[in-house]
């Protein structure tokens, strides 16, 4: 029997982790895997113990570069897992480094937002920004970049509530109301994403992942790039 796959996650927050766990479970289609969240660190209630958000992902990437004093792909974290998912929502493309009081950015490459559609105009630019954080010109081996447009809440909305007005929109990936729409269904309350609710709906997201792939081009790109790196049994 082959050993379980080791899948690590560097993500903006706990609810992003819950959604991506469901997606990975769907993609592996019953294959055993061991998930590890590297960034942010979570407590026993799955709440973040360290700084999250895109600034937390940025800082983790820069620390990974500093640890190797060379190409980040030489960092042991990349060889100690079969796959490493690094997630940043595409709404970051309209941000400035000063939003997170970041003063050591390797390039002055934010904001990088482009017109949508197509979503890829912005996500391609954001992926280049992320590679800059890693001091890489191409995606390191074993790494999958995940850039939901405009946020991962769009994927969650399409998965769980496909008949929602926004979810039915052919340009749903260009809409900014994913999180707002989830308030209607109880996954977001008073501006807070409810971690327990996201985890409780993992099975639903997993089951609907083919629908998400068909509706959201960035979910399809993530799926294809993830599957291309899955080692044979």
For residue range 198-223, list pLDDT tens digits in order: 999 999 999 999 999 999 999 999 99
Give the mean model confidence (pLDDT) for residues 131-140: 94
**Could you tell me the pTM of the whole model?**
0.95
Q: Which long-range contacts (CB under 8 A, 24 or more apart) does 99-108 make?
A: 99/55, 100/53, 100/54, 100/55, 100/58, 102/55, 102/58, 104/62, 105/58, 106/62, 106/132, 106/133, 106/135, 107/132
Alpha helix stretches (DSSP H) within the chain? 14-28, 53-68, 76-79, 119-133, 152-160, 178-184, 195-200, 202-207, 209-215, 217-229
Cα 211 to chain center, whole Å?
18
Of 1, 14, 7, the closest CA to residue 34 belongs to 7
Mean model confidence pLDDT for the chain:
93
φ/ψ of residue 33, rounded to 5: -150, 155
Residue 72 — very low, low, confident or very high, per pLDDT cuts 50/70/90?
confident
Least confident range from 31-35, 74-78, 166-170, 217-221: namely 74-78
Give the mean model confidence (pLDDT) for residues 173-191: 95
């Amino acid at each position: 029997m082959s050993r379980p796959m080791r899948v690590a996650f560097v993500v903006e927050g706990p609810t992003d982790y819950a959604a991506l766990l469901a997606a990975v479970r769907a993609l592996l289609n019953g294959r055993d895997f061991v998930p590890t969240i590297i960034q942010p660190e979570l407590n026993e209630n799955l709440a973040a113990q360290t700084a999250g958000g895109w600034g937390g992902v940025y800082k983790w990437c820069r620390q990974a570069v500093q640890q190797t004093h060379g190409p980040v792909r030489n960092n042991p974290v990349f060889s100690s897992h079969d796959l490493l998912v690094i997630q940043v929502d595409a709404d970051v493309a309209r941000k400035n480094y000063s939003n997170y009081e970041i003063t050591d950015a390797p390039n002055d490459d934010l904001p990088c937002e482009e017109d949508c559609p197509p979503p890829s105009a912005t996500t391609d630019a954001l992926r280049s920004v992320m590679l800059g954080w890693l001091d890489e010109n191409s995606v390191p081996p074993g790494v999958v970049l995940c850039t939901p447009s405009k946020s991962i809440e769009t994927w969650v909305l399409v998965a769980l509530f496909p008949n929602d007005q926004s979810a039915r929109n052919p340009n749903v990936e260009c809409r900014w109301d994913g999180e707002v729409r989830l308030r209607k269904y109880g996954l977001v309350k008073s501006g807070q994403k409810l971690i327990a609710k996201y985890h409780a709906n993992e099975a639903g997201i997993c089951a609907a992942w083919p629908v998400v792939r068909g509706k959201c081009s960035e979910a399809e790109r993530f799926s294809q790039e993830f599957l291309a790196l899955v080692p044979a049994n």
